[in-house]
Structure 1
Amino acid sequence: MEGSSKRSSKGNKEKDMYHIIHKVPYGDTPYVKAKHAQLVEKDPVAAIVWFWKAINAGDRVDSALKDMAVVMKQLDRTEEAIEAVKSFRGLCSKQAQESLDNVLIDLYKKCGKIEEQIDLLKRKLRSIYQGEAFNGKPTKTARSHGKKFQVSVKQETSRLLGNLGWAYMQKSNFMMAEVVYQKAQMIDPDANKACNLGLCLMKQGRYEEANSVIQDVLQGRLPGSDDCKSRNRAEELILELRSMQPSLEPSDLEGLDDDFVKGLEQLMNEWGPVRSKRLPIFEEISSFRDQLAC
C-alpha cells in the first residue's frame, strides 16, 4: 500500500509539472483539448475545431473565443477571426469585452482595416472619458507573457492614443496623428511614441521640431529611452532627418469630430490643473479650422 501511495504521489507531481510546463489546464473538456492541441501537439487547425466545440458547449467561452481568434490570426485567417469575435462576443461575460476589443484591434491592424480600427479605438477612448472603462476603477489587472501587472486609466488612455496615432499614420493623415501623439505624450510619455511623433513632424516638413522630439529619446529624457529598439529607431530617424530637403506636405483634419476632442479635453482637465479653457494643441487645431473656413 505504501509503495502504491508513493507511485500515486509521484504520478501526480509529474502530471502537475506537465500542466505547468505546457500551460495546459486540467480536465477533459473541449477547451482543455483545444489548448492541448494548440500548445502540446502544435496543431492549430485541430485547436480551432476544439475551440469551436468549446464555444458551442458553453465551455469557458471567454477564453475559447479569444484563444481561437489568436490561433486564426497566426494562420492568416484574420477575416474569419474578426467575424467570429463579432458574432459570438455576446456569449461572453461583461468582463471579457474589453480584452475582446483589444483582440479586434490587433485583427483589424493585421488585415489593414484602418477605418474599423480607428472607430473602435475612438469608441474605447470615449468609454474612458465617460467613466465606463475598468468598471469605474482607476486600475485593472493585465497579463503579458504569463505575467500579471497593474495598468492605470492614464496608461491605458495613452496606449490607445498611441494605437490611434499609428492608425492615422497608415492613412497618411500626419496632422491628425501628430495631435493624437501629442495628447498621448502629455498623459504618459514614452520613447516609442516620441519616435512616432517625430516622424509625424518630419512628414509635415517641421524638421527642427522633429529633431527636438527625437533628441529627447537619444538624450534619455523619456521612459523607455534605454530600450534598444527605441534608441535604434531614433538614430535611424535622425539620419533620415539629415538627408531630407525642406518640403511641406499638406495635411487635413478629416475625422476630428468636436465631441471626441471635447471628451479628451475633459479627461485631461480632470487629471491636472487647467492652464486654459482649451489645451494649446487644440487651440492650434481651432485656428487651423478657422483658416479652412475662410
Structure 2
Amino acid sequence: TIPLSYSDGRDTLFGIIDNVNDSLTCVYTGFTIYLDPTQDPTEAAFMNDGADAINTEHTFPQSLGATDVAKRDLHHLYAARKDVNADRANSPFAEIPDNLTDTWYYLDQETSAVPTSNIDLYSEKKGDLFEPPEAHKGNVARSMMYFYTMYKDQADMANPSYFETQRETLCAWHYLDPVDQKEWDRTWKIAEYQDGKPNPFVLDCTLPERSYCADFGQVCTPVVGVEDITKKQGFIFDKIIPNPVKDGASIFYKTNGPSDVFLEIYNLYGEKIDAVNIGKQAIGEHQYFWEKDKNINSGIVIFRLVFKLNNQIVLASKKAAIIK
C-alpha cells in the first residue's frame, strides 16, 4: 500500500526526500530552485506556473498506467521543470544519436544545436523519443522496472508494448549507470513513507538480470579496468560513443608514443567476440570507428585497447552495452 495521498506524497518528495538545503533540482536538466521552507513545497516549486516552475515527473506516464495508487508511488516520481516534463509527456525512453536530436535541455535552456561542452548533462528529444542525462539513466531504468513489476496489469491494459519497446535500452542503462549512494539513500528515505518498502531494483543489482535483462547475461559484478595505470603512462582510453552501441561506435583514445594499436572485444564470459588491428598510430589523440557484426548478440561487453611499443604492452578497458 501507499499510505500518503498524492498531494502529501509530492510535498514529502519536494520538501524532504529530494530537498537539499532548501533547494530542489530538476532530474532532467540540473536546474535548481530555492524552496522557502515556510511554504507548501509543491506550490512553492510550481511558482504560480511561472517560467521556471518545477512539477512532478511520473517516470512511467500517468496516461500509460500510472493511475490510482501507482500514480502516487514515490519510487517513480521525480522533480522536473514543467516545460521539459511537458515535452517528455509519455514519450518512451531511448538512446538518440546526437546528430538526430531535435531539442537539447540543460538548466533553463533549450537548443537545437549539439552542445560543445557538458553534453552528458543534457536531456534530449527526437520526435516521440526522450533521453535523460547520463547520470539519471540508471535511476530511470530501475524506476521503470519497479513500476512495471508492481503495476503490470494496469500498464499492459493501457499499452501492452510500451515497456517492452524500451526494455533493452533500460537494461543497458541499468548496467552503465549503476546505483550510487544518492539513489541508495533516496529509496530508503521513500521507504519511510511507504510501509518500509524500498525499491528492490535499487537494492539488488541482480534483480534486473533475473527479471528483464536475462539476455544481457550475469553482469552485476563490476568489471575493473586498468585505465588509471594507462593514464600514468600517457595511454588513455577516453570514451565510446554512442554507448549503448547499436550499429557501431567511435573509440576515442590517446597514445604517448608511436604504437601498434589493437582493439579486442570480450563478452562477460571472457570470450573474445571480435578483434581488430587498428594499425600503427603516432603520438596524440585518435578516433576509430568500430562496426558491429550483425551476429554479435545484445549484452554487456568489454572493449579493450592493446598498445604495443618497443617491448612494452599497455592495456586499457571500458565497458559498453550492445543493443539490437
Give the TM-score normalised by the residue count of structure 1. 0.32
More helix by share: 1
TM-score if structure 2 supplies the norm length?
Answer: 0.30
Larger radius of gyration, structure 1 or 2? 1
Higher fraction of strand: 2
